[in-house]
Amino acid sequence: MSQRDTVQEGHYPYQEPPYAESHYPGGGSYQEAPYREAAYPDDDYPQAFYPEHEEPEAPKPKAKKKKSIDAWMAQQSTNFPRFKRRTIALFFLRLPAFVPWFFILRGWLSLNAKDVLTLSEADVLGTGGEATFLIAVSITPLITLTGARWYAPLRRWYGIFFALIGISDATTAAITTSFSGGVFGRLAGHTFLVTGFLIVLIAIPLLLTANTPAQRKLGTYWKKLQKMTYVIWGFVILHLALLDGLKPFDGPQGDGDPVFHQRFYQIVAISLPLVLLRLPPVKRWVTETRAAGQQWKVWCAIAPMAALYILAFAFIFNEEIFTGLQVMTLHPPAN
């Protein structure tokens, strides 16, 4: 072992050796090296002095900036210091899940006054369930796009509410709708009703296992089970296609916007970017481009699909609010 190896690393770089005697030009004192300084005239201090020590790199400002959204959301709120910003934001972002029940409540409490549930429950709870499902499946692509993860808990929240709203929809429909054939006829008397009923049946095991203890207990099977979400997704699209009769422009009647109001087109417009952003090559391109600091390229490439996504959601929300208000005021549509 050389004399150089005997130097204690713990003293580098900020703590000066306590056993100094001679005066150090910089003002402090230090131990005179037990070897001749002249022997190492070109020493690249301190790297050469401590060959195994790596100079700590200065933090890169860009990398720090990228982490800032999640880090900022994890901080305590300035106005409500007891809560983190993330907690407050998630609280408000979770509230819209209650909207379908808020709208339908008067219909339930009035025991289907003026046939309000018979005529509109599917429009309110069905559209509400569809919206919550689409929000739930939007979280993962949004994480891919932005890199921020603070809103990830919304995925489980809206997934749970999709199942709960679906169950309440099926229960209300089984009691109040005007399809013939009793409870079974009201739940599965038509092809579109069968697909809707299947959606609810598949959602039940997902709902029961949408918690951390179940996740721990099921281990790797949990993720496989949760992949049934994709089956539900397919059935939702089929359900809406059958609901509108698989006609491209809603027949000769309908309304002035047969394309925009066609539920099948709405869900296709929303699903397109969500499916594409789940494809491994796309995910890789997005994350790599974002990591290279060229996020604008991703936004430019996705912008038209994002616009279509927002437009389709606007029509779904409009439908929900329009029919929801009809139920709340007990003024269901004539047909």
CB under 8 Å to 72, separation ≥6 — which residues? 85
Residue 75 beta carbon to other proteins: minimum distance, rounded to whole angstroms: 26
- Comparing CB distances to other proteins, the nearer of 9 and 257 is 257
Distance CA 207, CA 222 (A): 12
- Comparing CB distances to other proteins, the nearer of 202 and 301 is 301
Quick one: residue 112, left, alpha or beta (phi over 0 = left, psi -120 to 50 = alpha)? left
Tell me the one-letter amino acid at 141: P
Residue 154 beta carbon to other proteins: minimum distance, rounded to whole angstroms: 24
- Comparing CB distances to other proteins, the nearer of 108 and 299 is 299
- Comparing CB distances to other proteins, the nearer of 30 and 315 is 315
Residue 127 beta carbon to other proteins: minimum distance, rounded to whole angstroms: 15
- Comparing CB distances to other proteins, the nearer of 99 and 277 is 277
Residue 282 beta carbon to other proteins: minimum distance, rounded to whole angstroms: 5
Distance CA 140, CA 150 (A): 12
Which residues would be at the binding site for other proteins (CB under 8 A)?
253-257, 259-261, 272, 276-277, 279, 281-288, 291-292, 301-305, 307-308, 311, 334-335
Residue 80 exposure: Cα atoms within 13 Å on the Cβ side: 7
Which residues share a beta bridge with 111? none
CB under 8 Å to 122, separation ≥6 — which residues? 169, 173, 177
Of 319, 322, 288, 258, which Cα lies nearest the Cα of 134?
A: 319
